[in-house]
Structure 1
């Protein structure tokens, strides 16, 4: 009678309700019945003593490009992710090519569900290039046309990553204009904010302003309070600011990953003016010893409203760790601080970091920035409007770093860690609320009306796990170790992970936005 029957499990519906003891029947990719099931399934799964959860949704994925090479996304599925929302840096193709990109993913097959935003900076670069230029009316119109094209092709909204050049050249007014177009097309504005450290609260104010003036839903990527002097203070204030905005009817929320260190390139260690005339000129300037002296002086002054200085935010080079130099010359220094390596090499830490950055080109050298406090992470997790995003991509093979080349444990451990560390060990969240944050809440945010809950008629994305055994095995020194305690993962009613092994199945769907844009007149009325 059924394709699959999962028996004897503790069913967590995803809405935050307590678990119930029930069987779950699946047919044609959907939940058909929940309760005591007499009929048999072509495949029977015994979940006795285990929890049955809706599939987990990664609200900040980085797999947009790698899925074209391999659709397996094994590291994601091993940690229970059945749906990935990507696009911090946009789509891997231009706006006019997005439809074809989605078709390629469908033809080659993907093992998890996947949707993506288009980047406002992609539109900016297509029209203005990489320089710090203010668009005129004609150029802004060209940018908005690209956003509309992306939205009509199925993008879920637009994104920004405002600490990186040339994204940090966007003005607030420019982002409001582009967001209005995305809003008319049913999309979100998702942002790596302009600052996450000293000027975090001002960055939140900008995100709220964009949401309010553009009439658009806002998602803050990887929410963090990355400024040591304000640990224990700013995250509470962020919560108050966002809750206040929500009480005014502004649909703003956030996602986060459960780790005290962020991971990115070395670009945020360089003052933004170096990039004002584009990357080629920036490389030339960074090789100039006299200009480096000026850069070091500014680095020591700290963060400004126009520069999210991550060295300052982390409390110095001692808290900036080399993750991947993309160069065998530095491989033996991996996972040591820049300060420590510089002392051994008798170099200035800034010179060392910038040399590593330049010598990696055209690849991107990566670092870990230990900027966050665990208590602030706990505070953020308790906000009812936060969800979970890994900020990591799929890897080509298990045991390898993700496509970004970033050996950070978040690419293998994010979702199991929420349960093992913040539910089971610390009691920060109840299990029911943790599951809600990974299922129905993000599904609702993204307009996924047929996912995120175990209810009859919904898509059968499922994670079966042992609460006592689920553990994130990935550590800072061994960041690519898969988790334990997850027995099965189903995507659209097909088993993709069976006792820790990928079955090779590719039942994932491409998730598209509404693709219908209202005219300005319709919005006004």
Structure 2
């Protein structure tokens, strides 16, 4: 009887023991990589688990106690949040009917998982159309230039009271539609025709709805109020509007302005010391990119738009005045040998890949006349080699500066800004890997106000880049500006590989990201 009772007791004990829990089965595990989070910390020994479009675990020893449908061995690679580019001109590509363009590979092969569009006052543009699947995520800004042109046109005058209200309502509509902030390009017509108070009135609307102010300064060189005066204007706008300031592609443009970088840094750091939220982005190239019409013309010449300009050029007296102004601006940008034509617009009749100096020599005329003849029938993209290496470095190492591309057609910054910054600052410079990752991910997410992205944390979007630190390099240059960058092994966007084994995977998992407006400010027609 004793033996039987003991046996029954043992069987009862076995019956009461719960079966061993099955190890978690994830969609994807990333193991053995050098994991660097969006705050710059290296997370030693961790693996990353992904389920659907989310990171669900970032833990040590995870690989030993879990399984996955797929595992990526990232040995020898850096694993980081997908890079975030706060300044691009990718609107048209991201909303194109052509899936190959929507793949946004120029950025994906740099490790970028999210781009911002609408900068320089361009605004929502075609990106307002919902449902366009893309290779990368995209966030949009409300744009002053687009709004002012729609309400007032291209003319040089102040807004009426009624027009100001219309423009304020347009900003409110954009913010209700998910824009993250208000963008200006006060350097460009017709935005350049607006006084500071007009800009404050519109920026204040975005400020009340939680937006930030992203600006191409009114002046980046030494003309007019100068770059320091333009920075002071941006600080005034954001102080009176009550919102963060983000300076696009911070620079001191042209030899006459190179000595102003120190004063700009001083202004920003004093503002930050007073508690102001002031940041900037920077691309690592020594040439800016724009058009002849924007770089060389006086703003009075484009009052009324490009057709009005061409009518002025048909008048010999006005054409002579414009030519003199172009000559001055060529000098201010360092001379015609520093102005490289990178693309042709319309029937401009100039050759890409040659400087204005070369084109003038070949045609037996002057650089200013080459520019004027191009403007009579079209326009041209210019790479303007007018930045100092010392200034670039001075801005780059500030902890309030993040990586950005200002990516646009005809300039290698569209295809290679992040790997070039990596080469310049980490491989050949003194920046730590952690600082580079932070300035390209988490810091940028905070600037924009992106929630749930920019960090490797449970519950965050599975936007992840895996790259080879030795092979992560720019391939594009000024002669071949559209070469895809190398070194990105894998890019996940919302958990889906866009780049896999160094090649495009043929997927379009990117979505438009929207800022959620809390409260009731968007439940009624916006009237400011």
Say if 1:144 and 1:14 are closer, same or farther in 2 by CA, change over 3 A: same
Say if 1:56 and 1:446 are closer, same or farther in 2 by CA, change over 3 A: same
Q: Does 1:384 align with 2:399?
A: yes
Deviates more, 1:445-454 or 1:119-128: 119-128
TM-superposed CA distance for 1:186, in Å, is: 1.0
Pick aligned residue for 1:87 from 95, 118, 123: 118
Q: Return the TM-score normalized by structure 2.
A: 0.88
Pick aligned residue for 1:504 from 484, 506, 518: 506
Contact 1:30 1:493 in 2 (8 A): yes
TM-superposed CA distance for 1:228, in Å, is: 0.7
Pick aligned residue for 1:347 from 365, 371, 375: 365
How far apart are the structure 2 equivalents of 1:365 and 1:329?
Answer: 7
Partner of 2:299: 272
Pick aligned residue for 1:425 from 425, 428, 432: 428
How far apart are the structure 2 equivalents of 1:92 and 1:66?
Answer: 13
Q: Does 1:5 align with 2:33?
A: no
Cα deviations by residue, 1:126-177 (Å, 9 ceiling, x for unpaired): 2211101111222211111111111111111211111211110111000000
How far apart are the structure 1 equivalents of 2:437 and 2:189?
Answer: 36
Q: State the secondary structure of the residue aligned to 2:450.
A: coil
Q: Does 1:180 align with 2:204?
A: yes
Q: Does 1:488 align with 2:486?
A: no
Contact 2:338 2:355 in 1 (8 A): yes
TM-superposed CA distance for 1:92, in Å, is: 5.0
TM-superposed CA distance for 1:330, in Å, is: 4.8
Partner of 1:246: 272
Q: State the secondary structure of the residue aligned to 2:155.
A: coil
Partner of 2:321: 294
- The aligned runs of 1:67-82 (5 Å cut-off) are 67-69=94-96, 70=99, 71-82=102-113
How far apart are the structure 2 equivalents of 1:297 and 1:495?
Answer: 54
How far apart are the structure 2 equivalents of 1:205 and 1:328?
Answer: 39
Pick aligned residue for 1:147 from 164, 171, 181: 171
Cα deviations by residue, 1:289-345 (Å, 9 ceiling, x for unpaired): 332211232344x4xxxxxx4x233212121111112468856x4222101210111
Cα deviations by residue, 1:387-414 (Å, 9 ceiling, x for unpaired): 1111115xxxxxxxxxxxx321111111
TM-superposed CA distance for 1:509, in Å, is: 2.3
Q: State the secondary structure of the residue aligned to 2:471.
A: coil
Cα deviations by residue, 1:51-79 (Å, 9 ceiling, x for unpaired): 10100000101111221213211111011
How far apart are the structure 1 equivalents of 2:298 and 2:41?
Answer: 49
Contact 2:347 2:377 in 1 (8 A): no
Contact 1:186 1:514 in 2 (8 A): no
Contact 1:185 1:517 in 2 (8 A): no
How far apart are the structure 2 equivalents of 1:328 and 1:299?
Answer: 20
TM-superposed CA distance for 1:190, in Å, is: 0.8
Contact 2:348 2:374 in 1 (8 A): no
How far apart are the structure 1 equivalents of 2:189 and 2:348?
Answer: 27
How far apart are the structure 1 equivalents of 2:520 and 2:209?
Answer: 6
Pick aligned residue for 1:435 from 426, 437, 451: 437
Select the structure of larger CA radius of gyration. 2
Q: State the secondary structure of the residue aligned to 1:191.
A: strand
TM-superposed CA distance for 1:516, in Å, is: 4.5
Say if 1:118 and 1:312 are closer, same or farther in 2 by CA, change over 3 A: farther
| Unmatched runs of 5 consecutive residues or more in structure 1 | 303-308, 394-405, 520-525
Partner of 2:417: 414
Partner of 1:402: none
Residues paired across the two proteins, number: 486
RMSD: 1.9
Pick aligned residue for 1:324 from 331, 343, 347: 343
| Unmatched runs of 5 consecutive residues or more in structure 2 | 1-24, 522-528
How far apart are the structure 2 equivalents of 1:518 and 1:346?
Answer: 65
Q: State the secondary structure of the residue aligned to 1:104.
A: coil
- The aligned runs of 1:348-387 (5 Å cut-off) are 348-360=366-378, 364-387=379-402
How far apart are the structure 2 equivalents of 1:358 and 1:26?
Answer: 56
Pick aligned residue for 1:257 from 275, 283, 286: 283
Cα deviations by residue, 1:334-363 (Å, 9 ceiling, x for unpaired): 222101210111112111112123323xxx
Partner of 1:397: none
Q: Return the TM-score normalized by structure 1.
A: 0.89
TM-superposed CA distance for 1:517, in Å, is: 7.2
Q: Does 1:235 align with 2:268?
A: no
Contact 1:186 1:517 in 2 (8 A): no
- The aligned runs of 1:14-163 (5 Å cut-off) are 14-34=38-58, 35-37=60-62, 38=64, 39-69=66-96, 70=99, 71-88=102-119, 89-91=121-123, 93=125, 101-105=128-132, 109-163=133-187
How far apart are the structure 2 equivalents of 1:288 and 1:494?
Answer: 58
Say if 1:282 and 1:241 are closer, same or farther in 2 by CA, change over 3 A: same
